[in-house]
Homo-oligomer: A and B are copies of this chain.
Amino acid sequence: MVYFDNAATTYPKPPQVIRALSNSQVKFGANPGRSGYDMAINTSAEIYSARLAVARFFNLSDEQGVIFTHNCTTALNTVIKGLAEKGSHFVISNLEHNAVLRPLETLKLRGICDYSIAEYNYDDDKTIANFKEKINSKTVAIICTGASNVFGVRFPIKKLAELAHSYGLLFVLDAAQTAGVVDIDVERDGIDYMCVAAHKGLYAPMSVGILIINNSRHLNTLIEGGTGTYSAHSTQPEDLPERFEAGTLSVPLISALKQGVNFVSIRGTDSIYRHEMSLINELYRQMSGINNVELYVNPLTEDIKTVPVLSFNIRGVTSEQTAQKLAENDIAVRAGFHCAYSAHKAFGTERFGTVRISPCIFNKMKDVNILLNYIFKFAK
């Protein structure tokens, strides 16, 4: 199989990630933070060292702000609903995933809060101006994806954070598509909350998410339950990370995630990015020469920053049909709306969606050539 669906989940996983998964069942088989025997203590220490690895990776000064969640969607729901109070207003981009849009729309329908959508522009200054225009006196935060999961275009994160802070607002980054692929430094970039899908760019197994809290604002809880601390209190403790980690943690996945973070750290985000973009660039170069192929964003344009994701269509057939024909030839890509319909409206693909190609560090130019071969064939 030639696997180009890494924006959904990276495959394969590094061997040390897979080993950590099964090792965890032998070495870290106790519930962490609940007991005082050796295996429970060792399990707690493993979780702590994973927290530390994540904090270092994103340059978060206090590792207690690393919250392990079910997935990135849960992390996003935790921040959004933790901040949302009666009358609150949020500003988001028009390229957000349903993991941002659906919680906000649900809160809106429940009469709790409202949100406005700012348009992405190839020109960063225009994007910033679009966001600025949507801020009102009720706005509490700007929530934005680091990059479109469909078209790959990146947002000027640091400038958006500066805009948010200049209005006394918080900045929330959905890093599902950027963590591990582009360099993120929560201090330098001014990120107050960041949500990560660790099974993508951090090469962890499905599903473990991370919520980075780099802010002292009080956040309401989404989920309450046992924390192994302050058991006599019938409310959730204030301390991080326990406040947002009710119930049993995903020990095997977190232990594996630690190995994923180490793997990416050693390879280096910049080097991973360059490798994956070289594949995307070659795909674009070749595909732009095919008459029947529709492309939407040119990653070769110097002033457009993208992540290694390329959406395309073959004229006259739906994205599902193209993906199906590739699947029959053992090539894995994803078709449709990619849970981000609003992004398709922005790029005019709301009718049939797109076929998305997304490489990871393990893809080679050979894979690109195999894929190109079939695209040439089908697009004739």
Binding site for B on A (CB under 8 A): 1, 3, 5, 8-9, 11-13, 17-19, 21-22, 24-26, 29-31, 34-40, 69-74, 76-77, 97-99, 101-103, 105-106, 109, 197, 199, 205-207, 209, 221-228, 231-236, 246-253, 320, 323-324, 326-327, 330-342, 350
CB of B8 within 8 A of CB of A34, answer yes
- Contact partner of A250 (CB less than 8 A), chosen from B207, B246, B247, is B207
CB of A37 within 8 A of CB of B223, answer no
Given A30-B8, A225-B102, check contact A251 B35 (CB 8 Å).
no
CB of A12 within 8 A of CB of B29, answer yes
A247 contact set on B, CB distance < 8 A:
70-74, 99, 207, 209
**A12–B68 Cα gap in the complex (Å)?**
24
CB of B106 within 8 A of CB of A227, answer no
Residue on B nearest A353 in the bound complex, by CB: B231
Task: Give the number of copies in the complex.
Answer: 2
**A326–B233 Cα gap in the complex (Å)?**
27
Nearest-neighbour CB distance to chain B for A122, whole angstroms, equals 24
**A197–B249 Cα gap in the complex (Å)?**
12
Given A22-B22, A207-B250, check contact A35 B332 (CB 8 Å).
yes
Residue on B nearest A69 in the bound complex, by CB: B70
CB of B8 within 8 A of CB of A25, answer no
CB of B30 within 8 A of CB of A226, answer no
**A72–B12 Cα gap in the complex (Å)?**
30
Nearest-neighbour CB distance to chain B for A25, whole angstroms, equals 5
**A24–B205 Cα gap in the complex (Å)?**
9
- Contact partner of A25 (CB less than 8 A), chosen from B13, B224, B228, B231, is B13
A29 contact set on B, CB distance < 8 A:
9, 11-13
CB of B337 within 8 A of CB of A231, answer yes
Nearest-neighbour CB distance to chain B for A342, whole angstroms, equals 8
- Can you name 22 A-B residue pairings with CB atoms under 8 Å? A5-B31, A5-B35, A9-B30, A12-B26, A12-B29, A17-B25, A21-B21, A22-B22, A25-B205, A34-B334, A35-B323, A37-B326, A37-B330, A38-B330, A70-B70, A73-B246, A73-B248, A98-B226, A98-B234, A106-B224, A109-B235, A252-B252
